[in-house]
Amino acid sequence: MQVIQPIEQRFTKFGRPFKALWHMPEVTVARLTLESYFRSGWMWMEFVLVLLCFAALFFPFRVYAAGFYGTSNVALGAIAVLGTAIMVRQATGARTYSVLSRLSSRASYSRGLMLATALLRVPLLVFMLGLVLITGQLIDPAAGPLLIGIIGLLLNCLLLAVLTVVFSSPMATRLKRIIFLAWLALVLFAQSPVFWLPDAVISVLCIVSVPLLPLIACYNISVTGKIGLTGVLGVLAEGVYVVVLAFIAGYWLERRDLLLY
């Protein structure tokens, strides 16, 4: 008994931080959100979409790793946006009021939603990569570039998912979404103008594309399988983006009058 008791106390001591982490408001919201998303069946829809993307994009022809990651950035990015929008919509119904009333801060709820969708991006990416490797559709399946490419692809998917949470209701208002979509339209116009404008005007409009540079850097990491100085700066910038977006979403939700939502 004298030996067993200290061992039990030691395990209890080491288990306390994990128990505290497990019961953090953000982690609790993420767990409940994923559980509800799983029970509703929408989670499996995302895996089905990944399977359909694989069948349509990679199954007919073998591809290089660069082509796989380049296409997957678009496909998995679109799934991240769509899946996150559905997840947030499902998790912000009438029962949201009872959950928010038990939290010390509303910001914990938005951060929990971000954590939930971020965790789901990992198995989806692994599923897509596993399908391509198992079926032998990659021409150059070198371990090093593949592992490095995962970093860029995963970060871009995470950022798109977090951005979707920020501009979903009730975090963002309709006006904020309109402003964001207007900026996005301006970025696309600057990259490919639909009517003629002087070069000086186009150069000025290209300034609005500067916030996309970290996404481009991470895209290049996934496609080339190499991390240079630009890639490191892109990874750090996307990490800063996620932190700032989490703060913005929490701030907007704290100030939002949910009775008007």
Q: pLDDT tens across 142-180, in order?
A: 888 889 999 999 999 999 999 999 999 888 889 999 999
Supply the mean pLDDT for the chain: 84
pLDDT tens digits, one per residue of 102-128: 666 778 888 999 999 999 999 999 999
- Per-residue model confidence (pLDDT) at position 163: 95
DSSP sequence for the chain: -TTHHHHHHHHHHHHHHHHHHHTSHHHHHHHHHHHHHHHHTHHHHHHHHHHHHHHHHTSSS-B-HHHHHHHHHHHHHHHHHHHHHHHHHHHSSTTHHHHHHHSS-THHHHHHHHHHHHHHHHHHHHHHHHHHHHTT-BS---HHHHHHHHHHHHHHHHHHHHHHHHTSTTTS-HHHHHHHHHHHHHHHHHHS-SS---HHHHHHHGGGGGGGHHHHHHHHHHHH----HHHHHHHHHHHHHHHHHHHHHHHHHHH--GGG-
Distance (Å, whole) CA 73 – CA 157: 7
What parts of the chain have a pLDDT lower than 70? Answer: 1-18, 23, 93-104, 193-197, 201, 257-261
- Per-residue model confidence (pLDDT) at position 259: 53
Distance (Å, whole) CA 65 – CA 91: 36
Q: Which sign does the torsion angle of CA 178, 182, 187, 188 carry?
A: positive
- Per-residue model confidence (pLDDT) at position 209: 83
- Per-residue model confidence (pLDDT) at position 101: 58
- Contact between 211 and 237 under an 8 Å Cβ cutoff? The reply is no
Beta bridge partners of 138: 63
- Per-residue model confidence (pLDDT) at position 15: 58
Distance (Å, whole) CA 164 – CA 169: 10
- Per-residue model confidence (pLDDT) at position 1: 43
- Per-residue model confidence (pLDDT) at position 116: 94
- Per-residue model confidence (pLDDT) at position 156: 96
Residue 169 falls in which region: left (phi positive, over 0), alpha (psi -120 to 50) or beta: beta
Vertex 44 angle, CA 43 and 47, to 5°: 100
pTM of the model: 0.86
